[in-house]
Amino acid sequence: MLIEITGIIIVLMALRALIARDRSERMLYLNAVGFGISALIALYIQTPFGAIIAITFFVSNTLSSNAISYSIGRIQEEIIIK
């Protein structure tokens, strides 16, 4: 049940990323998709190795999330400067 709910949320966020016009909105939706995929990995592969894969994906997604927030900050600065 949780896997299906998480999958539906991921699909909705992916569709919103396709529909969004603003680049910063797209980045946020893609970030949500990434965290949802790490949750799916943890829910689907219920072994110690699956937990290691989910943790690794989560940490790498956190690093990309930091890059996304930095990029959004840079976009905000560029809009203010113009």
Taking only the tens place, the pLDDT of each residue in 11-70 is 999 999 999 888 778 888 988 898 899 889 888 988 889 889 888 988 988 888 888 778
| pLDDT at 8 (0 to 100) | 94
Q: 15, 14, 68, 69: which is closest to 37 by C-alpha?
A: 14
| pLDDT at 15 (0 to 100) | 95
| pLDDT at 23 (0 to 100) | 77
Six token digits for residue 16: 């919103």
**Domain span at 32:** 2-81
Q: How far apart are CA 63 and CA 43, in angstroms?
A: 22
Overall domain count for the chain: 1
DSSP state of 45: -
Q: 23, 35, 39, 34: which is closest to 72 by C-alpha?
A: 23
